[in-house]
A and B are shown apart, each in its own frame.
Chain A
Amino acid sequence: MAEVAESPGDPGTASPRPLFAGLSDISISQDIPIEGEITIPMRSRSREFDSSTLNESVQNTIMRDLKAVGKKFMHVLYPRKSNTLLRDWDLWGPLILCVTLALMLQRGSVDSEKDGGPQFAEVFVIVWFGAVTITLNSKLLGGNISFFQSLCVLGYCILPLTVAMLICRLVLLAEPGPINFMVRLFVVIVMFAWSIVASTAFLADSQPPNRKALAVYPVFLFYFVISWMILTFTPQ
């Protein structure tokens, strides 16, 4: 292939032309841009970080993680189609939210009544096992989201409901009555809708279109149960 075939019309002239001589005659009329992005996979970048984060101060480490969590909170509060939550998943945010919610929802320790609100452990179990079940369901239906990404999204989208819990506790400091209940109901419904919209914005694309409803319905049930727990909370 690299040999230049001698033109058959010149048997006499035995002067071999240099290889690829004709190439210099070719001129490129315009600059063909050679550019692009070489995306380095996340893993190697984080490995670089790991070696250099050993020497930084503890405050730096904590602030970096807190900033990442805060950034994701912003993404949940203003949901639009981005994959920040999916790409850099972490479980700190869900843990913080779950612990806050469970602390606020638990019945008091002096309350020995058997039929009261949920205990701390019950809320914790419902949130985490609910999220795991929904993730398994989504994967079994054939979704292409990873296990921890889905847990991360579901955990972060509890943020509106945690805010609703805070507002409800503040409202409950006022005098009880139907207006009190209506305000709490309204707040919980709005936050419930917000949670659903936020989580479907992140999760819906991972399912084939003919199974989207099957994957979204358990998410609806999950946030509905949490909303009901928030709404029926009565301080003792």
Chain B
Amino acid sequence: MAAADDLAFHEFEEATNLLAETPDAATTSRSDQLTSLGHVAVAAGTGSSYGAEDEVESDKTALLQAEKPQPGFWTFSYYQSFFDVDTSQVLDRIKGALLPRPGHNFVRHHLRNRPDLYGPFWICATLAFVLAVTGNLTLVLAQRRDPSIHYSPQFHKVTMAGITIYCYAWLVPLVLWGFLRWRQGVQERVDPYSFLETVCVYGYSLFIFIPMVVLWLIPVPWLQWLFGALALALSTAGLVLTLWPVIREDTRLVAVALLSTVVLLHALLAMGCKLYFFQPLPLEQVAPPAQVTSLALHTQLPPTLARSMGTS
């Protein structure tokens, strides 16, 4: 076709460099329909004028006969577009979340406008099951050392773990995304992430918790706190570095409040997991039994139960 010369699809590496260097020139989500073939078309105008984008878009859609308009959310292919990743891409994103580097924004550099749902969903599922399994294993190991502890499979931990992890990994990004959109309405300068990109950031940042939970099997308390602190630091560093470019143009108060809330919620999740799943020994100073997180009361012997009830 004669017009094919006008549409020089950039190679994947060039597009990466362009996107990484000029984050303002990132394609908006409207051009996702054009990228489904695996090419990243970069509208390299830094002003991101919508008129130019429209022309480019109409040219491309006219020529790409196989290209359908964005399918509705009730069709299967709509959801298939969120699973359009290869093994190497998923591994690369996990690596990017594990080792956050100050220069590389996770969303711009690794997601590149192709957020996926595979990573967040299966990382959450793995984390939930690993939590339940290692929590159970901790009880087994504790019982070996101290035969007075009553061992039971504790299957309800699986459901608790699943609900907690999934709610955290999907509701918190929803709230965060809503908040950022509201600030974008107020500020008019910030280019916020889409909801899926926020879910991706949170989902991949939870990956570090999986080896951390496995390492928590080692029954040395200070080592457990060390691993917990390390994993939490890496995870929150990734989150903060990803959110910083979006929030730095906002007022200082809002930026600091948002980032500290994010860090606090993440820390609360780690602490909650540790206290709920990894305390086989009876806790005497824990909160009153009305709280869901004090599971250890179930395994207590009656005298200690009476004692903790008395102190609450």
B-contacting residues of A (Cβ < 8 Å)?
A: 113-119, 122, 137, 139-142, 210-214, 217-218, 221, 224-225, 228-229, 232-234
Given A140-B80, A142-B80, A221-B126, does the pair A214, B153 have CB atoms closer than 8 Å?
no
CB-nearest residue of chain A to B157: A115
Measured CB to CB, the closest approach of chain B to A126, in angstroms, equals 8
Partner of B155, one of A116, A212, A213, A221: A116
8 contacts between A and B (CB under 8 A): A115-B156, A116-B155, A137-B118, A211-B87, A212-B87, A221-B126, A234-B151, A234-B152
Chain A residue, CB-CB nearest to B84 = A142
Chain B residues with Cβ below 8 Å from A214 are: 85-87, 90, 118
The prevalent SS among residues of B at the interface is helix
In this complex, how many residues of chain B approach chain A with their Cβ under 8 Å: the count is: 28
Which of A217, A225, A232 lies in contact with B153, CB distance below 8 A? A232
Which of A115, A116, A142, A225 has the most chain B CB atoms closer than 10 A to its own CB?
A115
B88 at the interface (CB under 8 A from A): yes
| Contact pick for B87, options A115, A118, A213, CB 8 Å | A213
A233 touches B153 (CB 8 A): yes
- Report the bound CA distance from A161 to B90 in whole Å: 30
Given A210-B88, A228-B133, verify A115-B153 contact (CB < 8 Å): yes
Q: Which of B151, B153, B298, B299 has the most CB of A within 10 A?
A: B153
* Chain A residues, Cβ within 8 Å of B154: 115-116
Find out whether the CB atom of A115 lies under 8 angstroms from the CB atom of B118: no
Contacts of A122 in B (CB 8 A): 155
Chain A residues within 8 Å of B299, by CB: 115
Shortest distance from the beta carbon of B104 to any chain A beta carbon, whole Å: 24
- Shortest distance between the CB of A161 and any CB in chain B (Å): 16
Cα distance, A113 to B154, chains bound together (Å):
9
Cα-based distance from A232 to B88 in the complex (angstroms):
35
> Is B122 an interface position by the 8 A CB rule?
yes
Other A-B pairs, 15, CB within 8 Å; known A211-B87, A212-B87: A114-B156, A115-B152, A115-B295, A116-B153, A116-B154, A139-B76, A140-B79, A140-B82, A141-B83, A210-B88, A214-B90, A218-B125, A221-B126, A229-B153, A232-B153
Summarize A's interface: helix, strand, loop or mixed. Answer: helix
Interface string of B136-171 (1 = CB under 8 A from A): 100000000000000111111100000000000000
Residues in A with CB closer than 8 Å to B88 are 210
A119, B298: Cα distance in complex, Å: 18
- Chain A nearest CB, measured from B86 CB (Å): 4
**Which residues on the A side are within 8 Å of B80 (C-beta)?**
139-140, 142
Q: Which residue of A119, A140, A233 has the most chain B CB atoms within 10 A of its CB atom?
A: A140
Nearest to B85 among chain A residues (CB) is: A214
In this complex, which of B82, B86, B90, B157 has the most chain A Cβ atoms within 10 angstroms of its Cβ?
A: B86
- Whether A221 contacts B156 by the Cβ 8 Å rule is no
Whether B152 lies near A116 (C-beta < 8 A) is yes
A-B residue pairs, 3 tightest by C-beta: A140-B83, A115-B154, A117-B153
Q: Per a CB cutoff under 8 Å, which of B76, B83, B87 touches A210? A: B87
A117 near B87: Cβ-Cβ < 8 Å: no
Contact of B129 with A by CB under 8 A: yes
> In the complex, what residue of chain B is closest to A111 when comparing beta carbons?
B152
Residues of A within 8 A of B136 (CB): 228, 232
Tell me which residues across on chain A come within 8 A of B152, comparing CB atoms: 113, 115-117, 234
Query: How distant is the Cα of A213 from the Cα of B126 in the complex, in angstroms?
Result: 15
Give the chain B neighbours of A221 by CB distance below 8 A: 122, 125-126, 129
Q: Specify which of B84, B122, B133, B155 is in contact with A217 (CB 8 Å cutoff).
A: B122
Interface residues of B in 103-140 (CB under 8 A from A): 118, 122, 125-126, 129, 133, 136
Report the Cα distance A212→B87, complex, angstroms. 8
**Distance in Å: Cβ of A212 to nearest Cβ of chain B:** 7
Contact partners of B156 in chain A: CB under 8 A:
114-115
A213 to B80, CA, bound (A): 17
CA distance A122 to B132 in the complex (A): 15
Interchain CB contact under 8 A, B155 and A118: yes
Shortest C-beta distance, A208 to chain B (Å), equals 9
Neighbouring B residues of A213 by C-beta, 8 Å: 87
Q: Do A117 and B86 touch (CB < 8 A)?
A: no
A113, B80: Cα distance in complex, Å: 43
Identity of the chain B residue whose Cβ is nearest the Cβ of A130 in the assembled complex? B125
Query: What is the CB-to-nearest-CB distance from A102 to chain B, in angstroms, rounded to a whole number?
Result: 13
The 8 Å CB contact of B118, one of A141, A224, A225, A228, is A141
Q: Please tell me if the beta carbons of B298 and A115 are within 8 angstroms of each other in the complex.
A: yes
Query: Which residues of chain B are within 8 angstroms of A217 by Cβ–Cβ distance?
Result: 122
